[in-house]
Amino acid sequence: MKMDRIYIRDLSLRCIIGFNEEERREKQDVLINIVLCADLRKACRSDNIKDTVDYKTVKKKVIDLVENSSFLLVERLAEAIADVCLENERVDTVEVTVDKPAALRFARSAAVEIERRRL
């Protein structure tokens, strides 16, 4: 059965990301897209925030993580974001895409997309 989905789209943040010396000096832009997969049937019936994934809380945790992080690889940043999302007990699966706009000359961005499930 396909899970219900909550989207956090185009979260634009800045962090230290990359392994080149010039990438380590100043924060760079990253664009983050998150899909939180959960069973939302109870919330659909109750209309109560307690029965759903509070995506504002998830967003705040992701912002705190990213803006205070310093990773070498976009892959590691994506994994850390997925871990934060899976801290919410209602989230069964999360899909995270991290775009690094300045990564490649002549390209709009380079991106990594991962999917992680609750174990």
By annotation, the residues acting in catalysis are 100
User: Could you tell me the CA-to-CA distances from 106 to 27, 62, 102, 110, 113 in Å, in that order?
Assistant: 21, 29, 9, 11, 21
Tokens representing 19 are 């392994």
Please report which helix (H) or strand (E) contains residue 108, including its range. Answer: none
**SS3 of residue 103 by DSSP:** coil
Nearest-Å Rg of the Cα atoms of the chain is 15
- CA 31-32-33 angle, 5° bins: 130
